[in-house]
Amino acid sequence: MDFKIEIVEGHDPSSYFWFRPVILKESGKILWDEVIEAEEEFSIEVEDVRCFLAYFFYKYFDKELTYNKRRYDDIEGYISGFEWYLTYNFYTYDTLRDMIKEILETASLLENEPDDPRLEDIKKEFSIFYMCSPDDPDYINGDNSAVRKHIHVVTDFYRRFAERLTAMMENNRDTNIISVMGP
């Protein structure tokens, strides 16, 4: 069986990022207990996010989005920027559609034009250790030059992630915000 980057249905409480539609109040600070989470959720391991998705989450994070500006922690105060650990990062459906479009374009470029300069920043974090199984010779040798050989793993993951995120938005039309939260 071919190696796949896992997308876990539901909530994995260990070292995973969690994706969940949310409903938010229109005003005031956003504290943990004020976020109404929808039932649907999926999880992706933190290192898979770091290697393959972080580029997109940072790029598409809207720090001017009212909900992101209102995130509040009793110790830290107001939170700005994409937060890696235990903080809601809010994305509108419109923003996510733009991100999904770029992710799918990236998958196509990786397959057809892997040396395209537009991919340089995206590929910086790619690691062979998250692209093949531990018994693969490329993993055993720590051979990051073999990334190209395993690029189909990333393109498959990008397409499955785009499909899963799109389905989540379609299944939750009562909101237009998805929270991306790290472990």
pLDDT digits (tens, 9 = 90+) for 100-125: 999 999 999 999 999 999 999 999 99
How much of the chain, in percent, has pLDDT values that exceed 70?
Answer: 95
Tokens of 37: 């989470």
Tokens of 2: 């071919």
The model's confidence at residue 1, banded by pLDDT at 50, 70 and 90, is: very low
Half-sphere exposure of 27 (CA within 13 A, CB side): 0
Helix/strand/coil percentages in the chain, nearest 5: 45, 15, 40
pLDDT digits (tens, 9 = 90+) for 5-59: 999 999 999 999 999 999 886 655 665 567 888 999 999 999 999 999 999 999 9
**Cα 148 to Cα 136: distance, rounded to the nearest angstrom:** 15
Q: Using alpha carbons only, how large is the chain's radius of gyration in Å?
A: 17
